[in-house]
Amino acid sequence: MIIQSTNIPDVKLITPKIFEDDRGYFFESFRDDIFKKEIGEINFIQDNESKSSFGVMRGLHYQLPPYAQSKLVRVVKGKVLDVAVDIRKSSPYFGKYVSAELSEENKLQMFIPQGFAHAYLVLSDEAIFQYKVDNYYSPEHDRGIIYYDTQLNISWTLVPSQIVVSDKDKKLPFLNDAELFD
């Protein structure tokens, strides 16, 4: 697997080495020794999966300490635009974002460390999205930022009328009003 830094060095794109033949394909989606060498010590403790339809937006979500989460995300079926926003106030990249198209075809993964808000937008008819996290879900520490915040200026690729957002996510604050990381 190839692990590359993005325009925000702490966010990584991971390209697996895929072995294909007439039977199908095989690849390692996670390998602890390579991950530790290239990214560092992360103890993933939970795997999650979601299924969503075209236009569904999930995010921008994060958890505050002590339940902050690092995530390793990938698409099993379909295609999404995946986005990570740096919400560490002391970071030189504060308010900046990384985006990448993750799909069943390219098998790219994104590593998103603690201190980032995360979202994805489904670009295919449906998508199955998997992710590993290094901390458990805590409703009391769950936070978010509204996806259309003009300060972030994220290019979502779909027009607003195509985007489907949960009632909870419609009520998220703007970056300037959100509880963030120091």
Q: What is the rounded distance in angstroms from the CA atom of residue 152 to the CA atom of residue 162? A: 20
Residue 22: left if φ>0, alpha if ψ -120 to 50, beta else—which one?
A: alpha
CA distance 36 to 60: 27
Told to judge if 131 belongs to the known catalytic residues of this protein, a careful annotator would answer yes
Active site residue 61: yes
Selecting among 61, 62, 93, 147, the annotated active-site residue is: 61
- Residues 133, 134, 140: CA angle, nearest 5 degrees: 85
Residue in 62, 93, 97, 131 annotated catalytic:
131
HEC profile of 64-130: CCCCCCCEEEEEEECEEEEEEEECECCCCCCCCEEEEEEECCCCCEEEECCCEEEEEEECCCEEEEE
Residues noted as catalytic: 61, 131
